[in-house]
């Protein structure tokens, strides 16, 4: 059987046709082009779903269902996105709008949850009944699998792991609170921390890497400077990794999953990230037993996790 997964992002809308072996056999994408009305966004979601189906050599009648991973507060039982500040959705009947356009049943889930489900099916959490996936990007998202089931919480509003507080009265977060993990551990936060260090240290090699233009700073700048032997770049990286570790340790202390994976572009740093991260987490977690301990690993599916997880959402109905 074949399924369509749609990863609805703030930058791109990506659709993929997925088979029973969790393989993506065709993809299509289009720019999200925000801001614009929900109806226009859904029109393009339907468009890329049709394009991916054609690319796979199939017809819509061959598709069992469509699944969507969307940012924001998603009520999977109603098929609605109750609120997404990035998309401008408010009580948007996403499942109903997709079904109207494609004539196929549609299931909707938070995008981080969909990615966690994909990793559980075919990636870092395969075969594990207790599993957490963290995605680090513009923000910090997370999905929790307990006893093989998605942990959604009351009104499907649970699992917002990026908004645990790691520093009371700390950095302001986009959610309205201060000190959230997302405000310290996101790629956006890393860029902000890099710029602050550069402003304080005009002799840092980070200036060289951006051609003297601080607006060219990316999430890689401090890491590249560190590898060049720049002590200020290393200070940024060391502190940033520690911020990630504090949140990871909190999650392990609360949930104690068998495996916790981290995804997002930051994982391209590989052991520059994971080695110190694991060391910090081991020191920060309660009752550590090295022989029976949560494994902290890199996500295996990359950007495909959300597609695969979304495509198989019908199995969770």
Same domain, 85 and 154: no
Same domain, 174 and 79: no
**Distances from the Cα of 305 to the Cαs of 83, 199, 211, 272, 284, in angstroms?**
23, 37, 35, 23, 28
In angstroms, rounded to a whole number, what is the distance separating the alpha carbons of residues 299 and 133?
Answer: 8
Q: Check the CA dihedral 84-165-131-124 and report its sign.
A: positive
Structural domain range at position 72 = 2-119+304-316
pLDDT (mean) for 172-200: 95
Same domain, 283 and 190: yes
Question: What is the pLDDT, as a whole number, of residue 151?
Answer: 87
Q: Residue with structure tokens 């080695």?
A: 275
In angstroms, rounded to a whole number, what is the distance separating the alpha carbons of residues 115 and 263?
Answer: 9
Q: How far is CA 4 from the centre of its chain?
A: 19
Question: What total of structural domains would you count in the chain?
Answer: 2
How would you classify residue 57: left for phi > 0, otherwise alpha for psi between -120 and 50, otherwise beta?
left
Q: Which tens digit of pLDDT belongs to each residue from 273-312?
A: 999 999 999 988 887 666 678 999 999 998 899 999 999 9
Kindly report the CATH number assigned to the domain that includes residue 212.
Answer: 3.30.420.40
In angstroms, rounded to a whole number, what is the distance separating the alpha carbons of residues 259 and 132?
Answer: 7
Work out the pLDDT band at 190, boundaries 50, 70, 90.
very high
Same domain, 242 and 114: no
Same domain, 45 and 177: no
Same domain, 9 and 67: yes
Work out the pLDDT band at 201, boundaries 50, 70, 90.
very high
CB 207 within 8 A of CB 198: yes
Question: What is the pLDDT, as a whole number, of residue 286?
Answer: 82
Same domain, 146 and 257: yes
Q: Which tens digit of pLDDT belongs to each residue from 115-164?
A: 999 999 999 999 998 999 999 988 898 999 988 888 888 877 788 899 99
Question: What is the pLDDT, as a whole number, of residue 106?
Answer: 98
Q: Copy the structure tokens of residue 95.
A: 């499942």
Question: What is the pLDDT, as a whole number, of residue 157?
Answer: 77
Question: What is the pLDDT, as a whole number, of residue 144?
Answer: 94
Nearest to 119 by CA among 100, 95, 141, 96: 141
**Looking at residue 88, what DSSP letter applies?**
T
Taking 70 as the threshold, does the pLDDT of residue 109 lie above it? yes
Taking 80 as the threshold, does the pLDDT of residue 265 lie above it? yes
Work out the pLDDT band at 86, boundaries 50, 70, 90.
confident
Same domain, 19 and 143: no
Question: What is the pLDDT, as a whole number, of residue 289?
Answer: 67
Same domain, 44 and 188: no
Same domain, 138 and 69: no
Radius of gyration of the chain (CA): 20
pLDDT (mean) for 238-256: 96
Q: Copy the structure tokens of residue 309.
A: 């997880």
Q: HSE on the CB side for 92, CA within 13 Å? A: 24
Nearest to 13 by CA among 50, 42, 53, 39: 42
Same domain, 159 and 292: yes
Same domain, 210 and 278: yes
CB 138 within 8 A of CB 9: no
Taken as a whole, the chain contains a residue count of: 317
Question: What is the pLDDT, as a whole number, of residue 288?
Answer: 64
């Amino acid at each position: 059987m074949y399924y369509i997964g749609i990863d609805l992002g703030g930058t791109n809308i990506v659709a993929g046709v997925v088979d029973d072996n969790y393989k993506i056999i065709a993809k299509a994408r289009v720019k999200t082009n925000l801001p614009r009305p929900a109806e226009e966004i859904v029109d393009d979601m339907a468009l890329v779903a049709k394009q991916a189906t054609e690319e796979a050599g199939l017809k819509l009648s061959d598709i069992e269902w469509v699944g969507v991973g969307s940012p924001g507060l998603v009520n999977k039982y109603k098929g609605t996105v109750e609120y997404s500040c990035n998309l401008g959705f408010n009580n948007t009947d996403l499942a109903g709008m997709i079904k109207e356009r494609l004539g196929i049943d549609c299931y909707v889930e938070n995008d981080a949850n969909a990615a966690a489900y994909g990793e559980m099916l075919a990636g870092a959490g395969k075969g594990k009944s207790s599993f957490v996936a963290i995605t680090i990007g513009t923000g910090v998202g997370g999905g929790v699998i307990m006893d093989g089931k998605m942990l959604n919480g009351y009104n499907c509003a649970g699992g917002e792991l990026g908004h645990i507080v790691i520093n009371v009265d700390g950095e302001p977060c986009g959610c309205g609170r201060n000190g959230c993990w997302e405000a310290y551990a996101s790629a956006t936060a890393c860029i902000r921390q890099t710029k602050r260090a550069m402003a304080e240290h005009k002799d840092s090699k980070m200036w060289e890497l951006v051609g003297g233009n601080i607006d060219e700073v990316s999430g890689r700048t401090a890491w590249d400077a560190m590898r060049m032997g720049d002590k200020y770049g290393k200070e940024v990286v060391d502190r940033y990794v520690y911020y990630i570790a504090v949140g990871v340790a909190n999650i392990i202390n609360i949930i104690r999953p068998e495996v916790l994976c981290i995804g997002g572009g930051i994982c391209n740093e590989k052991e520059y990230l994971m080695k110190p991260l694991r060391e910090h987490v081991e020191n920060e977690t309660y009752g550590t037993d090295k022989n029976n301990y949560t494994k902290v690993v890199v996500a295996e599916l990359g950007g495909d996790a959300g597609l695969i997880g979304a495509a198989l959402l019908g199995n969770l109905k």
